[in-house]
Chains A and B, each alone.
Chain A
Amino acid sequence: GAVVSQHPSRVICKSGTSVKIECRSLDFQATTMFWYRQFPKQSLMLMATSNEGFKATYEQGVEKDKFLINHASLTLSTLTVTSAHPEDSSFYICSASQTDRGRGNEQFFGPGTRLTVL
């Protein structure tokens, strides 16, 4: 099956530092990758959609300069939380899709990254 990895799985950082989260499709080329954010006991909220070679499309209310997304290749997308603050603490999940693969056109999710900003 399609596998998506995320690294790191957990990160704790000081306020003001930047944190980079990587999302990789391990056995397929991901045309599109999605970044979600999930607060405790809440649902997944889409932050942005990225297509390889194009600028990411951000959802309303998501700061582009705060959450930098780079989809430089068909197997890698990165999310950088710049100058992180405690309110950025959350569970970040990426997913990937491809046009000619998938069981019912599903998105393949990474295991998530838990960010804690002190």
Chain B
Amino acid sequence: AQKITQTQPGMFVQEKEAVTLDCTYDTSDPSYGLFWYKQPSSGEMIFLIYQGSYDQQNATEGRYSLNFQKARKSANLVISASQLGDSAMYFCAMREGLNYGQNFVFGPGTRLSVLP
């Protein structure tokens, strides 16, 4: 079964508008971390935001915020005031457990295109 699901293969958003990228996850481990990464065409993986399973508040990092709904097992990424440079692939990832040596599981990704 898929541990990370991203149901939107592609998304379009008008410049300066907000966009939400969906991510749902599946785990039975009470301790886990959720991550969002951006991958531009150059291929590098750029860390955006992190949410721990025990965090009480939704994570925010500048224009990025994570809408964490634990009961629904969703961790949607919200990008406010989209910029042309936000056009890229976006991956949701999960690390199960508290062991930092545990690998990440990545979702299939969402390609975001920001329109001028």
Contact = CB atoms under 8 A, between A and B. Distances in A.
A13 interface: no
A80 B95 CA distance: 26
Contacts of A43: 91, 106-109
A64 interface: no
A93 B106 CA distance: 13
Interface residues of B, number: 23
Nearest to A35: B103
A97 B95 CA distance: 12
Contact of A111 (B43, B47, B103): B43
Which of B42, B52, B100 has its CB near the most chain A CB atoms (within 10 A)? B100
B103 to A, nearest CB: 5
A51 B95 contact: no
A46 B4 CA distance: 14
A107 B50 contact: no
B101 interface: yes
Nearest to A38: B43
B43 A98 contact: no
Nearest to B95: A105
Contacts of B100: 31-32, 97-99, 102, 105
Interface string B29-69: 00001010100001111010011100000010000000000
Interface of B: 33, 35, 37, 42-45, 47, 50-52, 59, 91, 95, 100-101, 103-109
5 contacts: A43-B107, A98-B100, A103-B50, A108-B47, A109-B47
